[in-house]
Structure 1
Amino acid sequence: MKRLLFTGILFLQIIPIMGQVYQTADKKASITTIKLFNNLFKALPEGILFGHQDDLAYGLGWEYIPGKSVIQDAVGEYPAMYGWELGDLELDALINLDSVPFKKMTSFIQEGYEKGGIITISWHANNPVTGKNAWDIGGNAVASIIPGGEKHALYKSWLDKVAVFMLGLKNNKGEYIPVIFRPFHEFTGNWFWWCQNVCTPEEYKALWKFTFDYLTNTKQVHHLLYAYNPEKFENEAGYLQYYPGDEYVDIMSFDFYQYGDPSNNSDFENTLDKRLGILTEVAKKHKKLPALAETGFLNIPYAEWFTKKLMKGIGNHQISYIHLWRDGGLVNGNGKYRFAPSQDHFIPVGRDPSFMDFYKLYISNKFIFEKKARDLKLYQ
């Protein structure tokens, strides 16, 4: 915001963004958040931002080494996006469900932001009725926490903790760091307590709207972009079945992983192509950013998966970002849980069958990593 003084009268003017201006769902979003949102639209023709979950925290055979990064180890450059997880924050735990201390997470988020990267945060909240983890589907949990439900007060206390964490994310100037917040994802599956098998569209919409309104209006958290994120869908109507409305969403995304043997079928790339086609069209209609919020192939046993499956499925679809899921490494306990290629000692150089293929993805100029993201000045 800049001040203009004319004939003794003080005017306040919001600094305009060149070209079309896209409105964030939060009408009181911070200037930096608005700039990021609009700059991500401007960046769509420049390529796809590449992200990785827990990238700075751990990888195969290592954890919490300052400056170390799974993606940087692989290709010599940091990713453009960093994903983190809030699960167990609602329980007042000191570490999240992936064993990352929340204090360290805050530092990693600040580090990624200073590199010019984008921050995205998911939330695998525990089941508020059974007390078990997010994968426990008992107890009609969504109905219990929306307004009028018996666990509504408990859920508000959880959101209070989310707000405290989000409001603690500041840069070295004391300004809030924008975050893409992706709660209640993969709801078209059947494995979380908020999924379609245990939650009606009306209940889901009520949960989303209350979450948005409480964080935005009650807790005054104004640096979040909200990502709507089903898993499977076959058409536009299916994608929008649980959609809470344009005034509650900034990003339209979905999750899609490779399963089975990709060497003898084309199911992954064909389905990815189809769903990205649906996504980009519906996002354009609603003036939202399209994204592939989670993807990957566990342990990458197919050497050319990145180019012959992932890149082939993406094709020429213009999306904002893709995000690989995390590498378990020491946190997983056995060093055999990963979605990104590795040059670490668990897999000596030349023995990871996917490494060179990932490098082909890196040099394809189709994806944006740290250096180009910084050049794009997404926060300015």
Structure 2
Amino acid sequence: MTKTHYILPILLTFSNVYLCSAQKCNTKLSLCDKKSTAHTSILYENLRKKLTKEALFGHQDDLAYGVNWKYEQDRSDIKDVVGDYPAVYGWDMTGVEKDALNNIDGVPFDKEIQFIKDGYTRGGVITMSWHMDNPLTDKDAWDTTPKSLISALPGGKNHEKYKSYLDKGVVFFNSLKDKKGKVIPILFRPFHELNGTWFWWCKNNASPEEFKSLWRFTMDYLQEKGVHNLIYVYNTSDFKTKEEYLEYYPGDSYVDIVSFDKYQYTDSSQNDSFIKDYQNELKILNEVALEKNKLMAVAETGYEGIPDPKWWTEIFTKAIGDYKVSYVLLWRNHGWQEKEKKMHYYVPFKGQVSENDFVDFYNTHHFLFEKDAAKLNLYKK
């Protein structure tokens, strides 16, 4: 199928789905941080203005490692398959709060910072998550000891420790500079999957108002300390209604992008719930984005091991459907997990069963990879 034949019907549908509120969608976007750097503001505006037909395709830890390799110059599993890099690079900053040398995935921070600069220099977009350690217990993000979140709030017993974590984040964010010394814009996704139950900041550990207070304090503190290169991404896991999605929403003046994370766990040939659920959540997210004049994204997604040889064109493309998302980010290609005794990856590598389908998926141009994204000059007006 040619690019023209593929995009035309999508364009027609987009006009009904995402651009149905023309007056609202044409309103100029404004970042929550009123002191945002020029490059950050331009990127945010361009994610709407220049992405009228496609979504950016992203991958976590893409440049650092892949299946059976690590830290090879200019390598990427995606590039090995299609000759192109992803347009969005996902990274994690867990460890900066404790002055660790490596992040949560074992990537040395000096290498991660260079990878961030490399992707940005080629015209890619950077998104960052933070599995911050539990400030109450000093254990990892998955420790859900009761009242952990409350302890981090102003007046809480670990508030000063939480601020010290943020101070380390300030140094990290401001260290991400291009060759001209300008800080690199970052799509920052704090407290991700907040309506789950597996992190210390999740819904089982605080009331909606307590969570909102932590989000607002965090954003205000980072800005007060001079961080102005962040685009703030609100992120949930699965949800059924708009009310559920917005239950912990901190307010329009504290969110720039609305998003969710969603993975496939069941065999598509046996159960089509993945596509149906994806479409339902995108429908709700689209309503929220239009109502609040925000961009929307799928911040984590994928099918571990990709056992379906046609998953990209027959499942994933249908799951996203005609909804206009700014970007989708597939999770990382860790490779062999010794503890779990299994392979862990979310995009194909040479010889993987969905490799050829991924090439077809790439050639549709419904999703943009780095070469096409770079042509859009997302950091220029």
Please point out which of 126, 133, 138 is paired with 1:131: 138
Partner Cα separation in structure 1 for residue 222 and residue 326 of structure 2: 25
Partner Cα separation in structure 1 for residue 309 and residue 145 of structure 2: 39
Q: Secondary structure at the match of 1:226?
A: strand
1:220 matched to 2:263: no
Partner of 1:279: 285
Q: Is the 8 A contact 2:62 2:332 kept in 1?
A: yes
Unaligned 5+ segments in structure 2 are 1-25
Q: Deviations over 1:5-28 (max 9, x none)?
A: xxxxxxxxxxxxxx7421001011
Unaligned 5+ segments in structure 1 are 1-18, 344-348
Amino acid at match of 1:249: V
Amino acid at match of 1:211: T
> Any residues of structure 2 matched to 1:44-59 within 5 Å, and which?
44-59=51-66
Mean Cα displacement is larger for which, 227-236 or 334-343?
Answer: 334-343
Partner Cα separation in structure 1 for residue 333 and residue 94 of structure 2: 17
Partner Cα separation in structure 2 for residue 259 and residue 101 of structure 1: 31
Partner Cα separation in structure 2 for residue 38 and residue 331 of structure 1: 40
Please point out which of 262, 267, 280 is paired with 2:273: 267
Amino acid at match of 1:47: E
Q: Secondary structure at the match of 1:257?
A: strand
Count of matched residue pairs: 354
Shift of 1:186: 0.5
Shift of 1:330: 6.6
Shift of 1:44: 3.1
Partner Cα separation in structure 1 for residue 372 and residue 246 of structure 2: 33
The CA RMSD over aligned residues, in Å, is: 1.4
Partner of 1:140: 147
Q: Is the 8 A contact 1:43 1:320 kept in 2?
A: no
Amino acid at match of 1:192: F
Amino acid at match of 1:275: E
Partner of 1:336: 343
Which runs of at least 4 in structure 1 moved beyond 6 Å after TM superposition?
330-335
Partner of 2:21: none
Q: Is the 8 A contact 1:98 1:331 kept in 2?
A: no
TM-score normalised by L of structure 2: 0.90
Amino acid at match of 2:43: L
Q: Is the 8 A contact 1:99 1:331 kept in 2?
A: no
1:98 matched to 2:119: no
Partner Cα separation in structure 2 for residue 41 and residue 281 of structure 1: 16
Partner Cα separation in structure 1 for residue 278 and residue 376 of structure 2: 27
Partner Cα separation in structure 2 for residue 175 and residue 335 of structure 1: 42
Q: Is the 8 A contact 1:118 1:179 kept in 2?
A: yes
Shift of 1:332: 6.8
Q: Is the 8 A contact 2:53 2:324 kept in 1?
A: no
Partner of 2:173: 166
Please point out which of 189, 203, 210 is paired with 1:203: 210
Partner Cα separation in structure 2 for residue 46 and residue 180 of structure 1: 21
1:66 matched to 2:73: yes
Shift of 1:43: 2.6
Partner of 1:371: 371
Q: Secondary structure at the match of 1:50?
A: strand
Q: Secondary structure at the match of 1:95?
A: coil
Shift of 1:88: 1.8
Evaluate the alpha carbon distance shift between residue 332 and residue 368 of structure 1 in structure 2; reply closer, same or farther with a 3 A threshold. farther
Partner of 2:43: 36
Q: Is the 8 A contact 1:58 1:330 kept in 2?
A: no
Amino acid at match of 2:36: A
Q: Secondary structure at the match of 2:260?
A: strand
Shift of 1:46: 2.9
Partner Cα separation in structure 2 for residue 97 and residue 331 of structure 1: 15
Q: Is the 8 A contact 1:272 1:314 kept in 2?
A: yes
> Any residues of structure 2 matched to 1:187-202 within 5 Å, and which?
187-202=194-209
Amino acid at match of 2:144: I
1:256 matched to 2:262: yes
Evaluate the alpha carbon distance shift between residue 126 and residue 332 of structure 1 in structure 2; reply closer, same or farther with a 3 A threshold. farther
Amino acid at match of 2:320: I
Partner Cα separation in structure 2 for residue 148 and residue 200 of structure 1: 16
Q: Deviations over 1:57-103 (max 9, x none)?
A: 00011101110112111211011000000112211110011000111
Q: Is the 8 A contact 1:130 1:139 kept in 2?
A: no
Q: Secondary structure at the match of 1:162?
A: helix
Amino acid at match of 2:56: L
Percent identity over the alignment? 49
Partner Cα separation in structure 1 for residue 338 and residue 125 of structure 2: 25
Q: Deviations over 1:137-182 (max 9, x none)?
A: 1141110001111000000000000010000000011111000000
1:181 matched to 2:188: yes
Q: Secondary structure at the match of 1:336?
A: strand
Partner Cα separation in structure 1 for residue 213 and residue 328 of structure 2: 28
Partner Cα separation in structure 2 for residue 20 and residue 115 of structure 1: 29
Amino acid at match of 1:78: Y
Amino acid at match of 2:361: L
Q: Secondary structure at the match of 1:82?
A: strand
TM-score normalised by L of structure 1: 0.91
Partner Cα separation in structure 2 for residue 156 and residue 41 of structure 1: 34
